[in-house]
Protein backbone atom coordinates (compact mmCIF):
# COMPACT_ATOMS: atom_id res chain seq x y z
CA UNK A 1 0.00 0.00 0.00
CA UNK A 2 2.81 2.28 0.82
CA UNK A 3 4.36 1.56 -2.51
CA UNK A 4 1.10 2.44 -4.21
CA UNK A 5 0.76 5.79 -2.49
CA UNK A 6 4.37 6.51 -3.27
CA UNK A 7 3.70 5.96 -6.94
CA UNK A 8 0.56 8.03 -6.65
CA UNK A 9 2.52 10.92 -5.21
CA UNK A 10 5.17 10.51 -7.86
CA UNK A 11 2.54 10.47 -10.51
CA UNK A 12 0.89 13.62 -9.26
CA UNK A 13 4.24 15.38 -9.02
CA UNK A 14 5.18 14.34 -12.51
CA UNK A 15 1.72 15.15 -13.68
CA UNK A 16 1.92 18.67 -12.28
CA UNK A 17 5.04 19.21 -14.27
CA UNK A 18 3.55 17.87 -17.46
CA UNK A 19 0.37 19.81 -16.81
CA UNK A 20 2.25 23.10 -16.74
CA UNK A 21 4.01 22.26 -19.97
CA UNK A 22 0.80 21.03 -21.54
CA UNK A 23 -0.97 24.24 -20.63
CA UNK A 24 1.80 26.09 -22.42
CA UNK A 25 1.12 24.08 -25.56
CA UNK A 26 -2.61 24.60 -25.28
CA UNK A 27 -2.46 28.33 -24.73
CA UNK A 28 -0.29 28.83 -27.77
CA UNK A 29 -2.38 26.44 -29.83
CA UNK A 30 -5.44 28.31 -28.73
CA UNK A 31 -4.32 31.63 -30.12
CA UNK A 32 -2.50 30.62 -33.26
CA UNK A 33 -3.71 27.15 -34.04
CA UNK A 34 -0.17 25.83 -34.10
CA UNK A 35 2.03 23.93 -31.72
CA UNK A 36 5.12 25.58 -30.34
CA UNK A 37 7.55 22.87 -31.17
CA UNK A 38 10.29 24.63 -29.29
CA UNK A 39 8.35 24.50 -26.01
CA UNK A 40 10.43 21.60 -24.74
CA UNK A 41 13.61 23.58 -25.29
CA UNK A 42 12.20 26.55 -23.40
CA UNK A 43 11.58 24.20 -20.49
CA UNK A 44 15.17 23.02 -20.68
CA UNK A 45 16.49 26.57 -20.74
CA UNK A 46 14.38 27.36 -17.70
CA UNK A 47 15.97 24.48 -15.85
CA UNK A 48 19.42 25.77 -16.75
CA UNK A 49 18.57 29.30 -15.73
CA UNK A 50 17.39 28.00 -12.39
CA UNK A 51 20.64 26.15 -12.00
CA UNK A 52 22.55 29.26 -12.95
CA UNK A 53 20.84 31.23 -10.20
CA UNK A 54 21.47 28.40 -7.78
CA UNK A 55 25.17 28.40 -8.57
CA UNK A 56 25.29 32.16 -8.44
CA UNK A 57 23.87 32.08 -4.95
CA UNK A 58 26.60 29.79 -3.76
CA UNK A 59 25.64 26.42 -5.11
CA UNK A 60 23.63 23.54 -3.63
CA UNK A 61 25.79 23.00 -0.60
CA UNK A 62 26.64 26.57 0.29
CA UNK A 63 23.66 28.79 -0.27
CA UNK A 64 24.33 32.35 0.68
CA UNK A 65 20.66 33.15 1.15
CA UNK A 66 17.82 31.38 2.88
CA UNK A 67 16.45 28.44 0.92
CA UNK A 68 13.05 29.98 0.40
CA UNK A 69 14.53 33.12 -1.10
CA UNK A 70 16.80 31.08 -3.31
CA UNK A 71 13.87 29.09 -4.63
CA UNK A 72 11.85 32.21 -5.30
CA UNK A 73 14.74 33.74 -7.18
CA UNK A 74 15.26 30.57 -9.18
CA UNK A 75 11.64 30.36 -10.17
CA UNK A 76 11.42 34.04 -10.96
CA UNK A 77 14.54 34.08 -13.08
CA UNK A 78 13.50 30.97 -14.97
CA UNK A 79 10.01 32.30 -15.49
CA UNK A 80 11.25 35.61 -16.81
CA UNK A 81 14.05 34.17 -18.90
CA UNK A 82 11.91 31.48 -20.44
CA UNK A 83 9.07 33.87 -21.01
CA UNK A 84 11.29 36.21 -22.93
CA UNK A 85 12.76 33.35 -24.88
CA UNK A 86 9.25 32.35 -25.83
CA UNK A 87 8.49 35.86 -27.02
CA UNK A 88 11.67 35.83 -29.05
CA UNK A 89 10.72 32.52 -30.63
CA UNK A 90 7.34 33.92 -31.54
CA UNK A 91 8.91 36.94 -33.19
CA UNK A 92 11.46 34.94 -35.12
CA UNK A 93 9.58 31.82 -36.11
CA UNK A 94 5.89 32.31 -35.85
CA UNK A 95 5.01 35.89 -36.60
CA UNK A 96 6.65 36.15 -40.02
CA UNK A 97 4.96 32.94 -41.06
CA UNK A 98 1.55 33.65 -39.64
CA UNK A 99 -0.28 33.44 -42.92
CA UNK A 100 1.73 30.76 -44.63
CA UNK A 101 1.15 27.05 -44.58
CA UNK A 102 0.92 24.98 -41.45
CA UNK A 103 4.20 23.35 -42.22
CA UNK A 104 6.43 26.40 -42.40
CA UNK A 105 6.17 27.55 -38.77
CA UNK A 106 6.44 23.99 -37.59
CA UNK A 107 9.62 23.32 -39.46
CA UNK A 108 10.99 26.66 -38.36
CA UNK A 109 10.19 25.85 -34.76
CA UNK A 110 11.81 22.46 -35.24
CA UNK A 111 14.90 24.22 -36.51
CA UNK A 112 14.86 26.57 -33.55
CA UNK A 113 14.48 23.63 -31.25
CA UNK A 114 17.59 21.95 -32.64
CA UNK A 115 19.43 25.24 -32.62
CA UNK A 116 18.60 25.93 -28.98
CA UNK A 117 19.55 22.46 -27.84
CA UNK A 118 22.91 22.67 -29.51
CA UNK A 119 23.56 26.26 -28.54
CA UNK A 120 23.21 25.29 -24.92
CA UNK A 121 25.49 22.35 -25.60
CA UNK A 122 28.04 24.63 -27.18
CA UNK A 123 27.92 27.36 -24.59
CA UNK A 124 27.58 25.32 -21.45
CA UNK A 125 29.20 22.08 -22.40
CA UNK A 126 27.82 18.55 -22.19
CA UNK A 127 28.16 18.11 -18.45
CA UNK A 128 25.00 17.28 -16.64
CA UNK A 129 24.10 19.87 -14.08
CA UNK A 130 22.77 18.74 -10.76
CA UNK A 131 20.37 20.69 -8.60
CA UNK A 132 21.16 18.46 -5.62
CA UNK A 133 17.97 19.56 -4.00
CA UNK A 134 18.60 17.19 -1.12
CA UNK A 135 21.40 19.48 0.00
CA UNK A 136 19.18 22.38 0.79
CA UNK A 137 15.76 20.82 1.05
CA UNK A 138 16.06 18.01 3.55
CA UNK A 139 14.71 14.77 2.20
CA UNK A 140 13.20 13.74 5.44
CA UNK A 141 11.07 16.84 5.79
CA UNK A 142 7.58 16.89 4.52
CA UNK A 143 4.35 15.20 5.39
CA UNK A 144 4.53 11.92 7.11
CA UNK A 145 1.15 10.44 7.91
CA UNK A 146 1.07 6.72 8.38
CA UNK A 147 2.17 5.21 5.10
CA UNK A 148 1.77 8.50 3.27
CA UNK A 149 5.13 10.08 2.86
CA UNK A 150 5.45 13.16 0.69
CA UNK A 151 8.76 14.95 0.63
CA UNK A 152 8.90 18.70 0.82
CA UNK A 153 10.19 18.99 -2.69
CA UNK A 154 7.19 17.21 -4.06
CA UNK A 155 4.82 19.25 -1.95
CA UNK A 156 6.45 22.37 -3.22
CA UNK A 157 6.10 21.29 -6.81
CA UNK A 158 2.50 20.20 -6.50
CA UNK A 159 1.41 23.25 -4.59
CA UNK A 160 3.17 25.64 -6.93
CA UNK A 161 1.62 23.94 -9.91
CA UNK A 162 -1.85 24.05 -8.44
CA UNK A 163 -1.50 27.69 -7.49
CA UNK A 164 -0.32 28.53 -10.98
CA UNK A 165 -3.16 26.64 -12.56
CA UNK A 166 -5.70 28.40 -10.41
CA UNK A 167 -4.16 31.78 -11.17
CA UNK A 168 -4.13 30.97 -14.84
CA UNK A 169 -7.75 29.91 -14.89
CA UNK A 170 -8.72 33.12 -13.14
CA UNK A 171 -6.59 35.06 -15.55
CA UNK A 172 -8.20 33.53 -18.60
CA UNK A 173 -11.71 33.97 -17.26
CA UNK A 174 -11.51 37.35 -15.61
CA UNK A 175 -8.88 39.54 -17.15
CA UNK A 176 -9.08 41.55 -20.31
CA UNK A 177 -6.05 39.84 -21.78
CA UNK A 178 -7.47 36.45 -20.99
CA UNK A 179 -10.68 37.31 -22.78
CA UNK A 180 -8.66 38.64 -25.67
CA UNK A 181 -6.84 35.33 -25.92
CA UNK A 182 -10.05 33.41 -25.94
CA UNK A 183 -11.55 35.62 -28.60
CA UNK A 184 -8.48 35.24 -30.78
CA UNK A 185 -8.68 31.51 -30.38
CA UNK A 186 -12.21 31.48 -31.69
CA UNK A 187 -11.87 33.85 -34.61
CA UNK A 188 -8.78 35.92 -35.17
CA UNK A 189 -10.21 38.23 -37.77
CA UNK A 190 -13.31 38.99 -35.80
CA UNK A 191 -11.23 39.67 -32.71
CA UNK A 192 -9.05 42.05 -34.66
CA UNK A 193 -12.10 43.87 -35.89
CA UNK A 194 -13.32 44.18 -32.34
CA UNK A 195 -10.19 46.05 -31.41
CA UNK A 196 -8.09 43.26 -29.97
CA UNK A 197 -4.37 43.81 -30.51
CA UNK A 198 -3.55 40.51 -32.14
CA UNK A 199 0.22 40.86 -32.01
CA UNK A 200 0.21 41.65 -28.32
CA UNK A 201 -2.25 38.92 -27.51
CA UNK A 202 -0.26 36.28 -29.30
CA UNK A 203 2.94 37.53 -27.75
CA UNK A 204 1.37 37.34 -24.32
CA UNK A 205 0.21 33.81 -24.95
CA UNK A 206 3.72 32.78 -25.85
CA UNK A 207 5.07 34.61 -22.83
CA UNK A 208 2.73 32.89 -20.43
CA UNK A 209 3.14 29.49 -22.00
CA UNK A 210 6.91 29.78 -21.93
CA UNK A 211 6.89 31.18 -18.42
CA UNK A 212 5.06 28.09 -17.25
CA UNK A 213 7.54 25.93 -19.12
CA UNK A 214 10.43 27.67 -17.42
CA UNK A 215 8.92 27.14 -13.98
CA UNK A 216 8.32 23.52 -14.89
CA UNK A 217 11.98 23.29 -15.81
CA UNK A 218 13.09 24.42 -12.38
CA UNK A 219 10.64 21.98 -10.84
CA UNK A 220 12.15 19.23 -12.91
CA UNK A 221 15.55 20.19 -11.60
CA UNK A 222 14.34 20.11 -8.02
CA UNK A 223 12.58 16.77 -8.37
CA UNK A 224 14.95 14.91 -10.63
CA UNK A 225 18.13 16.81 -9.85
CA UNK A 226 19.67 16.12 -13.23
CA UNK A 227 19.47 18.85 -15.82
CA UNK A 228 20.77 18.25 -19.32
CA UNK A 229 20.40 19.57 -22.85
CA UNK A 230 18.14 16.87 -24.19
CA UNK A 231 15.69 16.90 -21.32
CA UNK A 232 13.26 19.03 -23.24
CA UNK A 233 12.71 16.61 -26.05
CA UNK A 234 10.98 13.69 -24.40
CA UNK A 235 9.33 15.83 -21.74
CA UNK A 236 7.92 17.98 -24.51
CA UNK A 237 6.55 14.95 -26.31
CA UNK A 238 4.85 13.69 -23.19
CA UNK A 239 3.44 17.05 -22.28
CA UNK A 240 2.06 17.32 -25.76
CA UNK A 241 0.48 13.92 -25.31
CA UNK A 242 -1.19 15.26 -22.21
CA UNK A 243 -2.40 18.34 -24.04
CA UNK A 244 -3.86 16.23 -26.82
CA UNK A 245 -5.51 13.74 -24.50
CA UNK A 246 -7.12 16.59 -22.65
CA UNK A 247 -8.13 18.33 -25.81
CA UNK A 248 -5.70 20.67 -27.44
CA UNK A 249 -6.61 24.30 -26.93
CA UNK A 250 -8.37 23.63 -23.66
CA UNK A 251 -6.59 24.67 -20.49
CA UNK A 252 -8.52 22.46 -18.07
CA UNK A 253 -8.00 19.70 -20.59
CA UNK A 254 -4.27 20.27 -20.57
CA UNK A 255 -4.23 20.11 -16.79
CA UNK A 256 -6.15 16.86 -16.75
CA UNK A 257 -4.21 15.40 -19.63
CA UNK A 258 -0.86 16.28 -18.17
CA UNK A 259 -1.86 14.81 -14.85
CA UNK A 260 -3.05 11.63 -16.54
CA UNK A 261 0.19 11.22 -18.41
CA UNK A 262 2.18 11.73 -15.23
CA UNK A 263 0.15 9.14 -13.38
CA UNK A 264 0.29 6.73 -16.28
CA UNK A 265 4.03 7.08 -16.49
CA UNK A 266 4.53 6.64 -12.78
CA UNK A 267 2.39 3.55 -12.46
CA UNK A 268 3.63 1.99 -15.65
CA UNK A 269 7.18 2.52 -14.59
CA UNK A 270 6.56 0.99 -11.19
CA UNK A 271 4.26 -1.90 -11.97
CA UNK A 272 4.92 -2.83 -15.55
CA UNK A 273 8.30 -1.75 -16.76
CA UNK A 274 10.35 1.39 -16.57
CA UNK A 275 12.20 0.76 -19.81
CA UNK A 276 9.06 0.77 -21.85
CA UNK A 277 7.16 3.49 -20.06
CA UNK A 278 7.39 5.81 -23.04
CA UNK A 279 6.16 3.10 -25.36
CA UNK A 280 3.11 2.62 -23.22
CA UNK A 281 2.39 6.33 -22.90
CA UNK A 282 2.61 6.52 -26.64
CA UNK A 283 0.25 3.61 -26.92
CA UNK A 284 -2.24 5.47 -24.76
CA UNK A 285 -1.97 8.46 -27.04
CA UNK A 286 -2.64 6.37 -30.10
CA UNK A 287 -5.65 4.83 -28.39
CA UNK A 288 -7.09 8.22 -27.55
CA UNK A 289 -6.46 9.43 -31.07
CA UNK A 290 -8.40 6.50 -32.43
CA UNK A 291 -11.29 6.67 -30.04
CA UNK A 292 -11.77 10.34 -29.39
CA UNK A 293 -9.49 12.45 -31.54
CA UNK A 294 -10.53 15.71 -30.03
CA UNK A 295 -9.57 14.65 -26.52
CA UNK A 296 -11.49 14.93 -23.28
CA UNK A 297 -12.33 18.60 -23.34
CA UNK A 298 -11.61 19.41 -26.93
CA UNK A 299 -13.94 21.56 -28.93
CA UNK A 300 -15.55 19.96 -31.90
CA UNK A 301 -14.23 21.79 -34.90
CA UNK A 302 -16.97 23.27 -36.97
CA UNK A 303 -15.67 23.50 -40.46
CA UNK A 304 -16.81 26.46 -42.42
CA UNK A 305 -16.92 25.43 -46.01
Chain contacts with another protein (rule: CB under 8 A): 29, 34-35, 37, 88, 92-93, 96-97, 99-108, 110-119, 121-123, 233-234, 237, 240-241, 244, 248, 273, 275-276, 278-279, 282, 285-286, 289-290, 293, 302-303, 305
Closest separation in Å from C-beta 135 to another protein:
28
Closest separation in Å from C-beta 238 to another protein:
9
Closest separation in Å from C-beta 84 to another protein:
12
Question: Is 208 or 244 the residue whose CB approaches another protein more closely?
Answer: 244
Residue 119 exposure: Cα atoms within 13 Å on the Cβ side: 11
Which H/E stretch holds residue 73?
A: helix 67-89
Closest separation in Å from C-beta 167 to another protein:
27
Question: Is 183 or 241 the residue whose CB approaches another protein more closely?
Answer: 241
3 state SS for 290-305: HHCCCCCCCCCCCCCC
Task: Check the CA dihedral 139-145-149-153 and report its sign.
Answer: negative
Closest separation in Å from C-beta 222 to another protein:
25
Chain centroid to CA 18: 6
Distances (CA, A) of 292 to 15, 72, 169, 254, 255: 21, 40, 25, 15, 18
Report the C-alpha gap between 90 and 135 in whole angstroms. Answer: 37
Question: Is 93 or 254 the residue whose CB approaches another protein more closely?
Answer: 93
Closest separation in Å from C-beta 29 to another protein:
8
Question: Is 55 or 141 the residue whose CB approaches another protein more closely?
Answer: 55
Which H/E stretch holds residue 130?
A: strand 129-130
Distances (CA, A) of 104 to 18, 99, 125, 178: 27, 10, 31, 27
Closest separation in Å from C-beta 119 to another protein:
7
Question: Is 62 or 301 the residue whose CB approaches another protein more closely?
Answer: 301
Question: Is 157 or 184 the residue whose CB approaches another protein more closely?
Answer: 184
Residue 129's region, left for phi above 0, alpha for psi from -120 to 50, else beta, is beta
Question: Is 66 or 126 the residue whose CB approaches another protein more closely?
Answer: 126
Pair 47, 231: CB distance under 8 Å: yes
Amino acid sequence: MEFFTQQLVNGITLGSLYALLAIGYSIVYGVIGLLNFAQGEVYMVGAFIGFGVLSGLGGPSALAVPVALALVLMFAAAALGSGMLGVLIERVAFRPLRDSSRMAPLITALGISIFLQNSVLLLLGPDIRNYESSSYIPVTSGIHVGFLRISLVRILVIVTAVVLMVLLTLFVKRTHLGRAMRSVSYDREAAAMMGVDIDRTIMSAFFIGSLLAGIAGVMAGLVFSRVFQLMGFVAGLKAFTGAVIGGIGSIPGAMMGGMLVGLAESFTSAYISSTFQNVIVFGVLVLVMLIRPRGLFGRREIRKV
